[in-house]
Structure formats: C-alpha cells, structure tokens
Structure 1
Amino acid sequence: QKGIQWNITMGLYWIRPYCFISLDSRSRWYMENPKNMPEEFIHRVLPWPPTVPAAERYLEICDSCREMLENEQYTYHSFPELSRAAWIESERENQRQKDHSDSSRIPETSPSDQPTENPEKPAQLSGAAHTRWTAPIVQALKELGGSGTPAQVRERIIENEHLTQEEISARRGKTQVNKFENEVAFARQDLVNGGYLDNSVHGIWTLTDAGKEAEITAQMAADLFRITASISRNNRKKRDILADGEDHSIHYWFYAPGKDASHWENFYREGIIAIGWGEVGDLRAFSCKEEIRERLQEVFGETYSYKNAAHALWQFANEMKSQDVIFVKKGMRTVVGRGVVESEYQYDENREDGFNHIRRVRWTGKGNWEFSGLPLMKTLTDITSYTGQLNQLRELVENEEEQAEEEKTVFYEPYTVEDFLREVYMDEDTYEMAAEILKEKKNVILQGPPGVGKTFIAKRLAYSLMGVRDPKRVRMVQFHQSYSYEDFVMGYRPTDTGFAIRKGAFYNFCKDAEVDSENDYFFIIDEINRGNISRIFGELFMLIENDKRGIQLELLYTGEKFAVPENVYLIGTMNTADRSLALLDFALRRRFSFIDLEPGFDTEGFRKYLEEIGDARFDRLIDRVIRLNEAIREDPSLGEGFCIGHGYFGGLLNWSGDGRTLERIVKYELIPLLKEYWPDEPQTVKEWSRQLEGAIAIH
C-alpha cells in the first residue's frame, strides 16, 4: 500500500513487540551510533537499504539485534526498551538542534532579565545590524534633555557618529527604504521593551529613569534585542487551557510569490516560500499584529493602514506551521504549484529582493491549473475553512501530482492517557468511561455547560485513543443553520462553465479512512445540535450506526455505492445552556451516546492550576463561582446544564497579578451570562454580581 514503507515494521512491532523490532527513522538513526550498538552489529546491518528490506533480511536484523540485547553492556534488553531509548535520545537531539538553531538566530532570555552591565561577563553579542544604534539613541536623547522627535534623534546621531552622506542615504530592499532610519527605529523598539525608553506619546521618544542613568554597551544592546525576541516568543507560548494552543491540524494556504507570481521560478528552485516587506525586520520581535502594522507605517509612511499586510506577516510568522500545505497562485485564476512547509519562520537579512521572510518548502507539484473558485487577492490566505475551494484545488492539483509521488513518512508526537489527564480537567474514571463508550458505540456527543472545554476534550480524546497527535486522522467541522448535505457529503457547486459535483468534508474523510483501515479516524462535529441533522446526513444517517458500518448505500447525486468505514468515529459537542435550540431529533439520540461534562473546579488538575497561580483574589473568585454553580443547579429553570465552566479562567499562568484581568472576566463574561440566565430576576443578578466583584476587590 502507498506510503507504508518502513511503517510496516512498526505495525509488526505493535503486534508482537518482543518478537519484531520497529525500524522507524528514530530507531534506525539510534542504531547507527556505535555508542548505542556493538560495532559488529553495525557492520553486519548497515548501510540501511533505501526502502524497507525483504522479509528474510528483516528477520535477520531482528535476530542480530536480539543477540546484541543479551550483552550486559547496554541498559536495554528487549525491543520495547530499545525503542524507548531511541525515542528519548532522538527527542533530546531534536531539542539540541532546536536550541542551537534558536541561539544562532536569537539567544534565549527571559523578559524579566535585565541587560548586563558587567564588563567581565563574556560577550554574547547579536548579529542584528540595528543594535549598532542602541547606544547612540540613548546618548542623543540625553543631549536633547531626555526627549525628542525621531527626526531630532536621528540628526543628533548623525552629528555624534560623524556619518557620511552615503551611510545616511543608503537604501535597501525592493521598496528602497532608508536603511539608517529603518535600523534606528528597530533599535528604539528594543529600548522600549527593555524599559529604557517611553514612546507612549506618538512622535516623541522619552528616556525613562533607567534610560537616563544607563550607559549602553554592545553587550547590553545585544541583550535588549534578545529581550525583544523573547517577549514575542513568550506571548506566543501563552495558551488558554481550552484553546488548542498546540494545534497540530494541517492548514491549507493560498499564496502569491510576488505580483503575477514573478518570484515563482526562483522560489521553486530555492525550495522556499517568501513574502515581502522585509524592511520591517525579523517578525519574531513583534508580539502582535498591531505592532507590525505600526512598524509598516513607520517604514513606508502612514498613507495606508497596512492591516492586510500586517495580517499576512503575522500569519506567515506565527500561524503557519510545518506540514501545512501551500497552493501557489498566479493572478486570481491560475494555480502554478503545490508544496508542504518544512521549517519554522526564518528572517534572511542577506536577501536583496525585499522578500526576507522565508520558510523552507518541499515542492510536490508544478504546472498550470485554471481555478474557478472565488478569486483571492491577498498575498496569503488561510483557505482551510473554504471547504468548497479546497476540494476543488485538491482535485485539480493533488490528484494529478501526488499519485506518482511516494508519500513522505511523518512521525507525530505520542499522546498518552497521562497526557490527556494532565491537559484536561477530568478524573481518570470519567476518561476511561468516555473512551470505552466511544470505542463501542463509535458515535458520542460531549454535552455540557459553557466553558467546560467540550471541543478541547474532543480532540484530546481522539489523540489519546490514537496514541499520537496525528492531525491527518482528526477532522473538525461546525454545524450551523446553513450547513447542508452538499457541504457534508457532496453536491453541485457553481463553476465558470456551469455546475460540477464537489465532494464534502465527511465524504473525503471517510475515503481517507477507507484506505488506511489499520488506523482509527475521528470526525468531530462542533455544535452538532445547531444543524438540521436529517438534512445534513441524508441517507448516511443509517450508515453511521455502529452495526451498519461497511454497509453500502447509493448516494443521492452520483449513484455511487458508499459506506462509512469501521475505523471512523464521530464525536459531537453540544452546549446544554443554549435555549435557542429545539430538542434533539430522537433518531440522532438513538445513534449517539451522550457524555455529560461538568466544570472541573474539583479536579486535581485544576487544584494544581490554582496553586501555580497563587493569588488570593483568584482563589476567592473561584470559591464564589463554585457557590454560584450550586445556586444554578438548584434553580428549577436552569439546572446542571447551565453551570459555569472552568474555561472562563484559563490561560492565567503568565498573569501579572493586575486586577484588570479578573475584572474583565467578571464584568464582561460572567455578569452578562447571569443576566441571560435570570432575565426576570434583576435582584438575583445584582446579588451575585456584588459577590463576584467583591471576590476580586483588594482587601
């Protein structure tokens, strides 16, 4: 079967772990090292064949390895122990390479670290060109009395540094931005982040008390740049306990390599994608889109808002991920290529074409395909949710280009029950019950009040049953009143010449699962009760039953015989506090099992979360919410389905302790919810509002 290759040895290992060895890429890499295996074994086995060996050769390798394991020299004495050792060491090596890559670009530092002024400390200088101007900015502002306009600061620097006209007027990039002004502005941002400069007044740079006393050295300038980069990284690492912060889902992007694909041939040859506006500098130094937008206006002028440009730059640096798929466009109606992202964001300051923001790409297709979908004019567009256009692109490009190409093996991070219990505020008994029901019934609905993490739990439940975070085997859609059979299964969609059949999300997912029958696939339907179930599922409503899997029915539009595979599992989510929805169709209830999710305030995980935050006001607020939930349960017009979930209070591990965050949660999230719960009882709303606000007051 296409794409299996060495994975067949993994399958044998899973079936008989003490008889067969897994020769996945990690194990092969580990076994090549003389520190890990005897030289006699290495000489006998290596080099590895380019493809999976024949059965006889594989069994010889198993026997040779089994003999080696009898040697007391090694800590592993079975195939599972060897596999585990290979996994651990490969992860360490991956981290070492990542750390080396990070340090070669921007060394790690904590935002709270202060730039060193110790001359005896070994220098760890930055290669960033703009740090040359950090000290001159401070000196210029001191001479200007502590504050000045950007133009005044630049004039004083020119005078103090005796800059030549050539240095002052040098330009770079396709937009020919002034290099001196550009680098001074970037150094200014480092000083702001380091607490030496205040730019809260537009157009005025002012030294803080720390800035007035500082004597900036080259080492301090390098440290300030590291602080800027670290602030950006830490902001991106903050994640809500309900938000899928480590989203491993593959996204699909429509991308333009310059106007009319002018850079396409170069980028294809180099194995990269790149976007312009390189003059703004390394995007890892910005903590939000607004900072990028302001920087764009600073560099290119304030004639335009640059909202779209800032959005594209932010997505390119922060939202695009390795293994995402790129469709390359020329104009608005032609697709010229397809590729898979293979690296994190990089800033190449040596490029002279202005396209300094790059990612490495493995190109999988090149040609000319006419695309009749909705024209997309932006440089970069995430089209993952544009299911109709995405399916059309797949049919145009992937079916033609990927048939002949051997699928590249991707190893995903393992995900265990322990990982689930650590991330999800649920006890082990509840998890085991939910997993058992899903495996047996094949269709479950996770229902509960707002904020209990239904969608988050659905994904984690799938990962835990798969044993890995494999995004290709998990797909999520959201039902709504306009969602239809045509979106879900198939239907006619308009084209330039008329109408054509387009396959829907569930149809494509089932076809993927059908050819990979050894693995489980999980289809998540968010807000399942918001859609017209009978209209969406159509004739598939019967086929999703656990005892009807594999039975074929004729599809409405094409007459094709179709079955829902045995290895497809459906997980729906439903908000029990949504009064606007009617009761669920009885036919749906018969085909799904329902699992109630409750607020996790009493779980061990949430108690640890409280301890990590360690704030008395937060503790009091949680205590009040627990009491509030008791009142909601006892109210005959509400009940358990309306309790307030723990998700309202997630993502506070990096909280600075200011009261505004808690005030925002209470004033703009909880109190409006209470008004919705008790629209005819203003006194009840007032009393609970008083208690919640009192909990976060400073005592």
Structure 2
Amino acid sequence: MEGIKTYWFLSAKFSGGLDQTERFIKDGIWENGYENKFLNVVRSIAVGEKVAIKSTYNLKNNLPFNNKGQPVSVMEIKAIGTVTKNHQDGKLLEIDWQKTNLNKKWYFYTNLSSIWSVKDDFPLSKQLIDFTFYDKPQDLDYFRNAPYWKSRYGDEDDYFQYDDNIDNDDVNQQLIAKQSYNLVDLIKEGCFVDEQLISKMISSLNRRKNIILQGPPGTGKTWLAKRLANIIVGYKNSNNIKSIQFHPGMSYEDFIRGYRPSSEGKLVLIDGPFLEMVNKARNDSQSNYVIVIEEINRGNPAQILGEMLTLLEADKRTPSEALELTYRREHENGIFIPNNLYVIGTMNLADRSLAMVDFALRRRFAFFNLSPNFDEGWLNYMIEKTKLSRQTLEKIKNALNDLNQYITDERMLGSAFTIGHSYLTHDNVIPDALSWYTDIIDSEIKPLLEEYWFDDKNKLETALNKLVLNDL
C-alpha cells in the first residue's frame, strides 16, 4: 500500500545463545542467528528502513502503572538504526546504529518473534513506532484499557474518548477497540443456546482451537459462529476475523495457495485467505485471529485443506511440526499454524447433497449440535423486541414445536430437518402479527417443506396445516 512504511524490531539473541547486541553495535551490523529460518524475511528488509534491537519478556513488579498483580509483556528497546546494506543472503544486514544503550521499556503490544515487521498503518503500531524511533511516550492508559488487556489491567470507567480532529481510520480503529465483546454480550444479543453449552464451545476453542457448529437450517449456526469469533478476538467488527464459505468449486489453490494469472498475463503464486490469516496471526502473537468457514462440508474439506488438515491439530501448532506446502516458495522452510489462530466451521445437516465429513476432519474438530429452540428465552426476547403479546407468541411456538415433532417422527427425515428458530426471530416492533407470520410461512418455510415432501402431497398438507394460525 502506497505511503505505508515498514519498521523492523529485531532480536539479538537466538535459540538460547548469548546476547549479541554489543557485537552488532560495534561492527555496525545485524545478523540472523538461525541457519534456516527467516532467510526470505531478512532478504526483504530494504536499505533505508529503520530497525531496532529489542528483547521481549514478562515483568510483574516495579511497573509504571497498576498491573493488579498480573505479569505484563514488556519489549525493551536497546538500539535503533537504519539499514545501509542488505547482503541478500538472508543473514547479514549492515546498520548505521544511531542510538544505543537506550533500555526503553514498551508494554503490552509486543512480539516474541526474532523478527517483527511493523507497519505504520494501525494506531497501536503508530504508537510503538513513535515511542521507539521518535522519542514519544507510550500512552499506557490507552493500552491498559484496550479490549485485549482491559479485563486484567484496565479501569472501571470507559476510557476511550474520540477526537474529531484525528483521521477517519484512527476513529474507526478506536470505535473497534471500544466495542469489546464477551459471553454476557452474546446472551444479551438474543442467543437462545444454553449458556453452559456456549461456555463449553469457548472452552473447547481455547483447548482444541477448532470447532464445528452443526444443526438443522435456521438454528443460528452462522450467527453464533461469528459471535464466538468476536469473543475469542475480544471485540466486534474486527479485521482479525475472516469469513469464507466452502462450495463444490473451491480448491486447495483457492483457499491455501496456488498459481493465478496476473495483470501482466503471467502465472504468480498467490496465498489464499487461510494462509493470509496464518501470516497475520504469526506476525501478531499478542492478538487472536479467527477464520469462520461456513458450510464446511459443502466442498471437499480434505482436498481444500490439504496439509493444513494435519497442521490444524492443537499439538501440531509449533515450528517443529512445520510442513512443506504443495506450492512451496523459494527459501520457505515449511509452514505451521500458530496457536492464536482459531477455526470455527458451520455445517447444515439437512442438505443431502453435501459430502460426508471424513474421520480425519472429525478428529481435528470438536462438534456441537444446535437445535430449534422456541423456549422461554425466545419468548422473552420476542416480547421485548417485537412488542407482540405472550399469547400470540405462545401460539407460534406451539405450532412450530408441533411441526418439528412431526418432522422428527418422519422416517425419511428426522431431527436434522427440523425448522430452526431463526426463521421466526425478529428484533423490531411487528405491527401486524398475522401478516408477518403468514409471509414467513409462505415465502421461507413452505418452500422448504415442499422440498421435504415433493413426492407426498398428503404429508405436505398435514405439515402445512400444523402452521395455520388464523387468530393471531
């Protein structure tokens, strides 16, 4: 992106060895201490770009703010300089070290990686760059009260205030930061899944990293998947979340990496959305990232995921388990999925055209079933939002429960084909209950039932009669 600058934060200590800061400064260099890692990244560092030697660790005592007894991630800035020559061997940079023995401490927004590229297009990054290279102080209150750290270090009151004089990008990022999101927010939004089950989903995500929500149509799988992603990330409307829908035409080349034509008419190797998220997560270890895969069984998951199917396992998410990809880049020494990237899939059990999910995929995901839920929670939500009477909503609830029991008892269908509560959930005032209800039945539910019983008009008529309500 034009105008965006890259700054580099580099370690001077590799694989438990000695700190090389003094040697680097004395010799006017920085050297990659690994034989087969980061070679391509080092080659990409341009002459004229600014670099800093950093050391990342945790501190618990003698901090310049109240850390409430919690350990805090610290990045100590030791020296800053400018690249004067890149030897293009993936190992050696010549550096004009301009300031040394700095020992400045930066808190919260840190990275353990030996090489961290930071762009000046994001408010948190801008503060880090200004602190490191331009001697501006860190706004510690801002970081303490940002969503990722607020629960551990933040104030009781809402910290973020908005300045009309800053540009729109900054305003948007602050708005994103303000909209923190947790389980309480999910319940308030109108989730009719048992809170205990949602807690299990979150726990499973934290432990296994990958889950699939499966159930009949209209049970809110996509809605819940995106809000679980919000919880994992910590806030809503986040660039840390990407949604993709699988389909029969999707391939490994679309999702992971493959060759595609460029504007010059040449074939170029392009990373797909999954590898883009892998790289984002690896370069931002302090944040969580989530990819939501809708209709995960509508394509061929094993073929689309390829090597990633193995790498998804929680105990394979380390550099030592890295695998070479089908389409390997020059100087690339394998790919692994970082621990801070989560995968949430959804699966519609009622679509007979979908491929069965193989056992390899099932071993790597935890599965959770969602069912139609016209319960007391649904009633109370609808009463509050739509202003319909309890009596009216009870009639609708009873009609749908009656229909769903009929579908469940049908030998050729079963519970996977029941009608979910999403069809009849609304969040605005409904002035005419009968018109609203009739429209949904005629335009959304009736066509579905006609597919179920396309060859049996008697059963279709019986099912439709269960939904007839003339006195709402």
Q: Distance in 2 between matches of 1:50 and 1:582?
A: 49
Structure 2 length normalisation: TM-score?
0.64
Q: Distance in 2 between matches of 1:539 and 1:430?
A: 31
Cα displacement (A) at 1:653: 2.3
Aligned twin of 1:556 = 326
Q: Please list, as runs of the form range in 1=range in 2, the aligned pairs for 1:213-612 lying within 5 A after superposition.
A: 340=169, 411-423=177-189, 424-469=191-236, 471-495=238-262, 496-550=264-318, 551-559=321-329, 560=332, 561-604=334-377, 606-612=378-384
Cα displacement (A) at 1:86: 3.6
SS at match of 2:339: coil
Q: Among 13, 17, 23, which residue is 2:68 paired with?
A: 17
SS at match of 2:177: coil
Report Cα offsets for 1:121-152 as digits up to 9, x if no partner.
xxxxxxxxxxxxxxxxxxxxxxxxxxxxxxxx
* Letter of the structure 1 residue corresponding to residue 395 of structure 2: R
SS at match of 2:187: helix
SS at match of 2:290: strand
Bigger Rg over Cα: 1
* Letter of the structure 2 residue corresponding to residue 682 of structure 1: K
* Letter of the structure 2 residue corresponding to residue 614 of structure 1: L
Tell me if structure 2 keeps the 8 A contact 1:17–1:80. no
Q: Alpha carbons of 1:53 and 1:488: their partners in 2 closer, same or farther (altered >3 Å)?
A: closer
Q: Distance in 1 between matches of 2:265 and 2:132?
A: 50
Tell me if structure 1 keeps the 8 A contact 2:252–2:304. yes
Q: Alpha carbons of 1:524 and 1:85: their partners in 2 closer, same or farther (altered >3 Å)?
A: same
Cα displacement (A) at 1:441: 1.6
RMSD after superposition: 4.1
Q: Distance in 1 between matches of 2:274 and 2:199?
A: 27
SS at match of 1:620: helix
Moved over 6 A (4+): 1-4, 8-15, 19-22, 79-82, 407-410
Q: Alpha carbons of 1:429 and 1:576: their partners in 2 closer, same or farther (altered >3 Å)?
A: same
Cα displacement (A) at 1:458: 0.6
Q: Identify unmatched segments of 5+ residues in structure 2.
A: 1-5, 10-55, 74-126, 142-149
- 1:650 paired to 2:425: yes
Tell me if structure 2 keeps the 8 A contact 1:490–1:507. yes
Q: Identify unmatched segments of 5+ residues in structure 1.
A: 23-47, 63-78, 102-269, 273-321, 323-339, 344-406
Cα displacement (A) at 1:15: 11
* Letter of the structure 2 residue corresponding to residue 440 of structure 1: R
* Letter of the structure 2 residue corresponding to residue 519 of structure 1: S
Report Cα offsets for 1:345-376 as digits up to 9, x if no partner.
xxxxxxxxxxxxxxxxxxxxxxxxxxxxxxxx
Report Cα offsets for 1:241-298 as digits up to 9, x if no partner.
xxxxxxxxxxxxxxxxxxxxxxxxxxxxx999xxxxxxxxxxxxxxxxxxxxxxxxxx
Report Cα offsets for 1:490-515 as digits up to 9, x if no partner.
11111223211111100111000001
- 1:691 paired to 2:457: no
Q: Which moved more, 1:524-533 or 1:513-522?
A: 513-522
Tell me if structure 2 keeps the 8 A contact 1:447–1:597. yes
* Letter of the structure 1 residue corresponding to residue 410 of structure 2: D
Report Cα offsets for 1:546-579 as digits up to 9, x if no partner.
2211221112222432111121111110001111
Q: Alpha carbons of 1:543 and 1:628: their partners in 2 closer, same or farther (altered >3 Å)?
A: same
Tell me if structure 2 keeps the 8 A contact 1:427–1:603. no
Q: Alpha carbons of 1:410 and 1:685: their partners in 2 closer, same or farther (altered >3 Å)?
A: closer
Q: Distance in 1 between matches of 2:128 and 2:312?
A: 43
Q: Give the fraction of aligned pairs with identical amino acids, expressed as a percent.
A: 33
Tell me if structure 2 keeps the 8 A contact 1:412–1:470. no
- 1:675 paired to 2:447: no
Q: Distance in 1 between matches of 2:383 and 2:174?
A: 44
Q: Alpha carbons of 1:49 and 1:520: their partners in 2 closer, same or farther (altered >3 Å)?
A: closer
- The structure richer in strand per residue is 2
Q: Alpha carbons of 1:80 and 1:571: their partners in 2 closer, same or farther (altered >3 Å)?
A: closer
Q: Please list, as runs of the form range in 1=range in 2, the aligned pairs for 1:162-177 lying within 5 A after superposition.
A: none
Q: Alpha carbons of 1:638 and 1:554: their partners in 2 closer, same or farther (altered >3 Å)?
A: same
User: Which has the higher relative contact order, 1 or 2, with Cα contacts under 8 A spaced 6 or more apart?
Assistant: 2
SS at match of 1:477: strand
Tell me if structure 1 keeps the 8 A contact 2:225–2:344. yes
* Letter of the structure 1 residue corresponding to residue 68 of structure 2: P
Tell me if structure 1 keeps the 8 A contact 2:259–2:267. yes
